[in-house]
Amino acid sequence: MRETGVACLIISILNLIFCDSIRAQTDQPEYIQKGNGLIALQVGIPSKAMQPAVENKMGNLGFGIGISGFTNPFSWGRNKRNSPLRIGAEAGYTYYGRFLSDVSINGSRGDYKTSYGIVQLNGILQLRPSEPEVVSPFLEVLAGGNFYLSTTKENLTAIESSLGITAFDMGSYSSASFNKGVAVGCSFGKPYRDQARFTVRLSYNWAKNIKYVVRNSLAYNPSNGHLEYYTGSAPVRYLMAQIGIGF
């Protein structure tokens, strides 16, 4: 039933886009739209299988910002015209939180803070009305990468920081996975050229496993004198909800 609903939504959006495109081809456009973009706040909603990689106290949600830009390929040549096709890319970062690890080193205890998030970098093919409408739906297919990034540092108190004490930095850990996805959205606003528009976008992303730092696994290894942590693996499956300003 859910798959049928999604299919009907996609068909409806495609119908709106191509009906607008056919209508636009019969009229001489006043101007050629060369491109568009989006700056948005975003919320990452991981699947149950992915949640171990991003476990936090925020309902396992992530919060961040994303930006995307598109160009109309039919505006490149000599015979420029409007088109429903856009080619572009997106970049964004979603912060999923941090956790503290209480570590004992030769009887001396200390806290270490691990912060983590996911970077998304994708190329996108977008279909949208050839010219802006009051309500302009769009459909996207995307492919690229998800990059898990984490850093672990000594967690200093406010007094220690004010005294200029430098926190011990264990460095960063990262892993990557090839990403695929689809997205639907809609922009709202007056159909004027170069008009900022309120935009909502929802994408579903899936990829192979990424590796991550296991929560609270940091420990001191007396045999080599190093701080070490365990890594786990989880499949990438998440929704990304975005609200922002299109242009």
Instruction: Choose between 215 and 4: higher pLDDT.
Output: 215
Number of domains in the chain: 1
Considering the chain, what is the average pLDDT of its residues? 85
CATH number at residue 209: 2.40.160.20
pLDDT value, residue 154: 78
For the stretch 104-127, pLDDT in tens is 766 556 788 899 999 999 999 999
Domain encompassing residue 193: 2-26+34-246
Residue 49 φ then ψ, to 5°: -70, -30
For the stretch 58-112, pLDDT in tens is 999 999 999 999 999 988 877 788 889 999 999 999 999 998 888 776 655 678 8
- pTM (2 d.p.): 0.82
Beta strand spans in the chain (E): 35-46, 62-71, 85-105, 108-127, 135-154, 169-188, 197-213, 219-221, 226-228, 231-246
CA dihedral 52, 56, 60, 65 (to 10 degrees): -110
d(CA 68, CA 149): 21
| Confidence at 219, pLDDT banded by 50, 70, 90 | confident
d(CA 110, CA 96): 23
